Amino acid sequence: DLGPEAFDFVRRTGDLLMVHKFGIDEIMTKLRIWSEEFDYSHEHDPIEHITSRVKRPEAIAAKLSRRGLPVDPVSARRHLTDIAGVRVVCPFVSDVYLIRDLIRQHEMEIVQTKDYIAAPKPNGYRSLHLIIKVPVHLSDHTELVAVELQIRTIAMDFWAAVEHELLYKSGGAVPDGFAAELKAAAEAAAGLDARMSSLHEHSEVAPG
Ligand code: 0O2
């Protein structure tokens, strides 16, 4: 049987994960409404697909402990901003910034922006990362929940998924030239984004 302290710890961890899941639900609803609205009005839909995840308790504990922070729900709430994660995948780079602008306009405070599209990571990783504060209205009070939003194009997502898979499988040990090849692939993905955007712009002005 769990003692009262362990029981309390488990309950507070459950509360933490639940409220972050609600934060995801709130933002997902907004994103889905916009996507359907654009679709319905026959306008270009800036959202290709959306995924989300609540960070696993083991991963939360590992991150806190890596940073030398107390491993408990209060500390997680105070120090981690990626317990709730939403990934929005868009057809074009301009769509990424359109989603950012829509978020800005709809009473969700953006508390941090990391623009790895304007300034890609040294390995070639590109994406727009926002930390937003989402109000979650519970039955008797409202909580502001941090959600990490990663907004990227299909090409950026393809690269990130493959890179993650390759590095994960290899456990980080990669042959010579691997990093340079990955970076070149990221640049090719950026080139593809530019070509697709150009096609999109031309199709919008084309008659018929
Ligand atoms: P998971 O499983 O997605 O949660 P930190 O979050 O503090 O560890 P940092 O640098 O402050 O790190 O955060 P940053 O740069 O905003 O990126 C965090 C997340 O972005 C990662 O989460 C990945 O999802 C994604 N990401 C960042 N860099 C890369 C990269 O080089 N390749 C790929 N494939 N994804 C990347 P986690 O916590 O690593 O994993």
Whether residue 102 contacts residue 118, with contact meaning beta carbons closer than 8 Å, is answered with no
CA 5 to ligand 1 centroid distance, Å: 33
Ligand 1 atom, smallest distance to 121 CA: 31
pLDDT at 208 over 60: no
Burial class (CB in 10 A: 0-12, 13-18, 19+), 187: middle
Say what the ipTM of the complex is.
0.91
Could you tell me which CATH class the domain 4-205 is placed in?
alpha beta
Q: Give per-residue pLDDT as tens, 77-115.
A: 999 999 999 999 999 999 999 999 999 998 789 999 999
Place 205 in a pLDDT band, splitting at 50, 70 and 90: low
| Tokens describing residue 181 | 């090849």
pLDDT band at 49 (very low <50, low <70, confident <90, very high): very high
Residue 193 has pLDDT above 60, yes or no: yes
> Is the pLDDT at 207 greater than 90, yes or no?
no
Centre of ligand 1 from the C-alpha of residue 104, in Å: 22
Residue 43 CA, distance from chain mean position = 24
Residue ranges per domain, the chain? 4-205
Catalytic annotation on 148? yes
Best probe residue, ligand 1, of 82, 125, 129, 182 (max atoms within 8 Å of C-beta): 82
Provide the H-helix boundaries in 68-177: 73-79, 93-105, 154-170
183 confidence band (pLDDT: 50, 70, 90)? very high
pLDDT tens figures, 142-162 = 999 999 999 999 999 999 999
Report, as an integer, the average pLDDT of 23-34. Answer: 97
As a whole number, mean pLDDT of residues 14-18 equals 94
Contact 52, 24 (CB under 8 A): yes
Triad 8, 12, 18: Cα angle to 5°: 145
Determine the length of the chain: 208
Ligand 1 first shell, C-beta below 6 A: 82, 85, 114, 121, 123, 125, 129, 160, 163-164
Strand-by-strand arrangement of the 109-115 sheet: 49-54, 84-90, 142-153, 128-137, 109-115
State the pairing for strand pair 84-90/109-115: unpaired
Strand partners, 184: none
Rounded distance, CA 169 to CA 47, Å? Answer: 30
- Of the candidates 125, 54, 49, the one whose C-alpha atom is nearest the C-alpha of residue 85 is 54
Mean pLDDT of the chain: 93
For residue 129, how far is its CA from the centre of ligand 1 (angstroms)? 9
Atom 33 of ligand 1, residue of closest alpha carbon:
160
Predicted confidence at residue 174, as pLDDT, reads 76
